[in-house]
Amino acid sequence: MEFIKEALVIFSDLLNNAILLFGLGFIYAATNYEERKQTQIKKILLGALIGVITIMIMMNPWKLAEGLIFDTRSVLLGVTGLFFGGITTAVAALLALVYRITLGGVGVYSGVLTIILTSSIGLSWHIIRKKMPQLKPYIEYLLFGFIIHIVTLLCFFAIPWPTSLNVIKNTVLPYLTLFPLLTMSLALIVHNQRDRALGQLKIKNQQLLLQASIDATNAMEVFALDTQLCYLSFNEFHYLSMNKYYNIKIEKGKKFLDYIEHPRMRKRIEECLQIALTGKFHSSVSFVETSGEKYVEEQYSPIFNDEGEVIGVTVFSQDITDRKKYEQSILYLSYRDPLTNLHNRRYYSEELKRLDDPKYYPLSIITADINGLKIMNDAFGHDAGDQLLCIVSDQLIKVFKNESRVARIGGDEFVLLLPNTSKEKALNLIEEAKQAIESAKINEMNISVSFGLSTKYSTEDVEDILKLAEDDMYSKKLFEVTSHRNETIKTILNTLHEKNPREEKHSERVSKICLRMGTALKMKSEDIKLLEAISNLHDIGKIAIDDAILNKPGKLDDKEWEQIKKHPEIGYRILATTPEYAEIAQDILSHHERYDGRGYPRGLKGESIPLRARIISIADSYDAMISERPYRKPLTHQEAIEEIKRNLGTQFDPSLGTLFIDLFSSQVETI
């Protein structure tokens, strides 16, 4: 009975120790202790609290004899060193040492060593752990408890002999079985509390990071939903956007889709969210159903937990309306001719492939080419040529009713694709187009366009059909272009004479001089006719020179003079396109060359200058000298003759100049 009673007392003492011992786990839970983040004061206060618990444990010991007390301080101080760091452990150990020394007795030295060594092992365990293989926590903490209690047993040798031997015999069993288990249990409690606290801290930090990331942009809506599609978080931009566009104030925990009233929009978004909830990243560009001109780019990204399970979706939504409009404008321009706004060759090539399908037969292909665009550019400038292109484009659209059928594929070339259109109907449209175009004028010049047509009815190669349409156009152009060019040149010359009446009189006088010289040179009648034509056309290039320069009352400056010097080249370009005038185009180009090679535009010299150009040069210069100009008075006939004499061999061909002088020096009345 005495043994049972003693055992109950010992069990009661150890139970009290254990209750106090596991208070450390509650301390950790209550403080969410993380050693690195505690201030010095907090560490000292926590050490004092643990020190008090240690003293309370020592006040309820397992007592073998006077001065020989045994308790779980080794467990408490070892675990404190393991988890709470140096300052906290030192304060707790110091309080325990003071109390134990105060108690005194034969076991005082053993008690002091136990406090110091178990605390030190706890503090050093993180270093010892690095040299050990990785163990599961409960095995590691059991080993830790076993080691500190072997050390505790060794401390008992500080008790006088033979009492120490008796103490070790009485304590070895609980110290090597129960106490390591207590150490493991307490360490696991603190370990789990630490992991729970760190986990909560991690979640909190992740939430803060998520919110910070969400709030980082004010140009994109960002929000996170759980698996039930309820709000977890959202940025202010999303909150304001939902309020602005839908007049609602969203809340965390509420279902996102409940705020979306438009059925198609709700269905579209829900389908995207469900894809993300399967673990797949999903991205889309959508036209916003509730807004007429709004596009959004949306990204749906699944949220995974540590086990790889989907626990929600993060949605990124950005308004890309401006970008979309820009892309559409670029795409529009890539298929459009910037001048006429008609479709271009790229569109035509793709459309031709699309329409090459039986459901569009008969497919009529019309080719069109403007006659005289180059002459228009040379005579009146590229602005006039652009105006001509625009007039023709507008008329084609009006006649064919659908601008998508008309494409400008080259400088003056057009193609029209007419699906489900017979050849007869296409011919009627061409005739209507010709009448509309030819009724328009630009700079008093008639507009002319040549058309070609071919129609595909069945399996013919569409490229062959196109070739037939082009051949048809070119065959018609052979007849139409010549008459149109001749008419154009006459119109240009009339326009020049209307703008500058003196040019017409000047050409008439130059023509008379040239005819006299040609007859005196016994030129053939055909050459004399060409000489007469050159006389009338030699200044046709002045049509492209600004009237302000032609009629300037004062001396021309260098820039203006350079403009004047271009008229032979312009005249050449106008005439060279017409077969009947091609032969005299070179003469027009050369009529301001000088015999000594210092003329323009090419600096020809001597007899390399065409004969007719050398004759025109003399007649043109003479008439210019005796004619009144805004910037000078005319010379007399004799003064002009003397000027020609002085320039024989330099500006003028000496033999032709001598002939002119012989013919006209005493016959002024015949000029």
523 and 605 part of one domain: yes
Average pLDDT, rounded, for the chain: 84
- Domain end, chosen from 445, 462, 477, is at 477
75 and 184 part of one domain: yes
Q: What is the CA radius of gyration of the chain?
A: 54
Higher pLDDT, 504 or 351: 351
- Domain end, chosen from 164, 198, 232, is at 198
- List phi, psi (to 5°) of 110: -65, -40
Does the structure show a pLDDT above 80 at 273?
Answer: yes
Identify which of 514, 516, 563, 507 has the alpha carbon closest to the alpha carbon of residue 536: 507
**Domain interval for residue 402:** 337-477
In the numeric block, which tokens belong to residue 445? 């010049």
pLDDT of residue 274: 93
552 and 595 part of one domain: yes
95 and 228 part of one domain: no
160 and 222 part of one domain: no
Report strand pairing: 363-371 vs 406-408: unpaired
Which CATH number goes with the domain that contains 425?
A: 3.30.70.270
Tens-place pLDDT, residues 358-387: 999 999 999 999 988 888 888 888 888 999
31 and 146 part of one domain: yes
- Domain end, chosen from 294, 325, 356, is at 325
240 and 176 part of one domain: no
Which CATH number goes with the domain that contains 111?
A: 1.10.1760
67 and 143 part of one domain: yes
pLDDT of residue 53: 83
102 and 187 part of one domain: yes
450 and 375 part of one domain: yes
Tens-place pLDDT, residues 652-670: 999 999 999 999 887 544 4
Contacts of 513 (CB under 8 A, 6+ apart): 535, 618, 619, 622, 623, 660, 664, 671
Tens-place pLDDT, residues 444-484: 788 999 999 999 998 889 999 999 999 999 888 877 766 66
580 and 629 part of one domain: yes
133 and 157 part of one domain: yes
Identify which of 493, 468, 476, 465 has the alpha carbon closest to the alpha carbon of residue 434: 476
Residue 367 pairs in a beta bridge with 415, 452
